[in-house]
A and B are shown apart, each in its own frame.
Chain A
Amino acid sequence: MPERQLPESFADLEPLVAWALETERERTRKRLSSSMDEIQAFYNAIFPRMETVLNYLNQFPLQAMPVDAQRLLYLTLSLAEVSMAVELFKQPSVPDGYDLTRFVPVHK
């Protein structure tokens, strides 16, 4: 049985743990290499829980978060990463857009 990756009260989000990515580069890569169905499934699972997730995470100082809470935070950052794709573009990449992989983040 694989070890729990997220805080216990969010066990329902464990199937999404592949989206718990630390850096923007990784999150962008996952977004661009996922199908719209996969992205939509991720959104559908996490968006309804976001209030609870953020209220839970807000109890920790950002610089000193337990590892499982940090993974949960990364899930929310992935939601931000796919937000445009889900709500506006209806596709993973920016329509008529510049190649996102050429727009290189210097930050994490």
Chain B
Amino acid sequence: MAAVATGNVSTTPNGNTWHAQYPELGTGPAPIEPYISQEYFELERERIFRKVWLNVGREEEIPKPGDYLVKDLPVCNTSILVVRGKDGRVRAFHNVCSHRSNKVVWDQQGSCQTFACKFHGWTYNLEGQLSFVPDEKSFFDLKKGGLGLTAVTADTWQGFIFIHLDPQPTETLSEYLGELGKRLTEYPFTEYSATRFVWQTELRTNWKLIKDAFQEAYHVAFVHKRSIPDAVTSKENPFCHALDIKLYPHHRSLSLYGNPAHKPTPIEALAYRFGNLILRNEYSTQHLPPGVNPTKSQSWSLDLNVIFPNFFVDVTEGTYFTYNIWPMAVDRTLWEVRAYYPQAQSAGQRFSQEYSKVFFRDALMEDANTLEATQSVLASGAKAHFILQDQELLIRHDHKVHEDFVGFYRQGQR
């Protein structure tokens, strides 16, 4: 049974607020301080980003042995080299030479048989082992066996490559993704990943502000009044109240309403005749796994899935998209957006994917503009708190999970 918006009150199927399902989170204001505090930022680096599984790519980016990608992670003061070995396995290493710590691989992706450091020619194989040292006899008792690239733990889930900086993570990737991971297990990620559109931008904003913007649909009626006038809002549901919200220990999910009476624009109607669009598609409850569109609503558009700390995997029929949100400084963040579509089989499909992609991208430009504006006044001292309503529960949960890891407000520390 779907959630119903009645007047001013948001209700779940049994008539309560979503917050009522998670009373331990409370309903009070949430502090702004974590978004502007340098001290908090340093603690996030140590206590979040070194302690969790982080998505750094997908297997299609490195399909063959010798293929590699590099993910610079300034939040962890490192750069990660991800490489498919001769045995087909995906491994990850700190991109740091054992000699004098030069960055070994300077490009973002490629394919090779060995990695040679540009500084003194130290050479590593695809398994990260040190295979050659020029002028080796000038070293003292050099034991090449122990001087390979320093490995980081790597694993894959549904084609997504994750790394963990702890050599012995307390949870496997599967355990970390938990119930949300299981919910998404049968979603056709690989089929939909044949086509990939990728954008990057650096924003003058705290990384959590970007997350917040995409963890609620309250903004849609205002921020997207031009681009999305009626696809996810209606007279019955003017504020895009969620169909479903689920909070997990670290992660969370929101099932987004879609207006079945949406009126397509002329180009949208044309594009839809040739392929699925991000907010308009043919879907059947048989094709998508039970965990997607969990209320099996006919008024559904997509599911928003947030994998802590910084990875969004938002899914619908025929396409999905991801955000990776990388902190660089307390007020600077690299935001990567990827939109995935199946292999276009025809020009018509190619055109429809392009329309869907442009629509999505332009709507994101509406979201992004509020972010730097907010950050510019966030440290004014004018306000100390965010006020969060029932539909902003995901933001409240995120505050809680950050605090679980960072412990900024714990007894005796503040």
Are A and B part of the same complex? yes
Question: Which A residues are within 8 Å of any B CB, using their own CB?
Answer: 24, 47, 50-51, 54-55, 57-58, 60, 62, 65, 73, 76-77, 79-81, 83-84, 86-89, 94-98, 100, 102-107
Q: Known: A83-B355, A106-B199. Is A54-B347 also a contact (CB below 8 A)? A: yes
Known A-B contacts A83-B265, A103-B365; the reply to A60 vs B347 at CB < 8 A is yes
Q: Does B160 contact A (CB under 8 A)?
A: no
B→A interface (CB under 8 Å)? 196-202, 226-227, 229, 265-268, 270-271, 274, 337, 344-348, 350-351, 354-355, 357-359, 361-362, 364-369, 372
Known: A96-B369, A98-B369. A58 touches B267 (CB 8 A): no
| Distance in angstroms between the alpha carbons of A81 and B344 in the assembled complex | 18
Q: Contacts of A80 on B, CB cut-off 8 Å?
A: 267, 271, 351, 354-355, 357-358
Contact A88 B227 (CB under 8 A): yes
- Interchain CB contact under 8 A, A73 and B197: no
7 contacts between A and B (CB under 8 A): A54-B348, A83-B359, A89-B226, A97-B362, A97-B365, A98-B366, A104-B201
Chain B residue nearest in CB terms to A72: B347
Query: Taking CB as reference atom, which chain B residue is nearest A93?
Result: B365
A84 to B224, CA, bound (A): 12
Question: Taking CB as reference atom, which chain A residue is nearest B226?
Answer: A88
Q: Are A54 and B351 in contact (CB under 8 A)?
A: yes
Cβ of B196: which chain A residues have Cβ within 8 Å of it?
107
Q: Are A106 and B200 in contact (CB under 8 A)?
A: yes
Q: For A65, what are the chain B residues with a Cβ–Cβ distance below 8 Å?
A: 347
Assuming A80-B354, A84-B227, is B198 touching A58 (CB within 8 A)? no
Q: Which of A47, A50, A62, A98 contacts B365 (CB 8 A)?
A: A98
- Do A104 and B347 touch (CB < 8 A)? no
- Asked if B201 and A96 make an inter-chain contact with CB atoms under 8 angstroms apart, the answer reads no
Query: Whole-angstrom distance between the alpha carbons of A17 and B229 in the complex?
Result: 32
CB distance from B354 to the nearest CB of A (A): 4
Chain A nearest Cβ from B351, distance in angstroms:
5
Q: Is the CB of B200 within 8 A of A83?
A: no
Q: How far is the CA of A65 from the CA of B346 in the complex (A)?
A: 11
Minimal beta-carbon separation of B340 from chain A (angstroms): 11
A42 to chain B, nearest CB (A): 12
Evaluate whether A57 and B267 lie within 8 angstroms (CB atoms) in the complex, with A84-B359, A106-B199 already known. no
Question: A85 → chain B, closest Cβ, in Å?
Answer: 8
Q: A62-B344, A107-B196 are in contact. Are A97 and B267 (CB under 8 A)?
A: no
Instruction: Decide if A107 touches B348 in the complex (CB within 8 Å).
Output: no
User: A86 vs B268: C-alpha distance in the bound complex, in angstroms?
Assistant: 12
Q: Would you call A104 and B362 a contact (CB within 8 A)?
A: no
For B227, B266, B346, B362, the residue with the greatest tally of chain A CB atoms inside 10 Å of its CB is B362
Interfacial chain B residues near A24, Cβ < 8 Å = 197
* Other 15 A-B pairs with CB < 8 A, given A100-B362, A103-B361, A107-B198: A54-B348, A62-B344, A62-B345, A73-B347, A76-B354, A77-B350, A80-B354, A84-B227, A84-B359, A87-B265, A94-B366, A98-B366, A98-B367, A105-B198, A106-B198
Interchain CA distance A58-B366 in the complex, whole Å: 34
A77 to B351, Cβ gap below 8 A? yes
CB distance from B381 to the nearest CB of A (A): 26
State how many angstroms separate the Cβ of A10 from the closest Cβ of chain B. 13
* Least CB separation from B198: chain A residue: A106
* Of B229, B268, B358, B366, the contact of A97 (CB 8 Å cutoff): B366
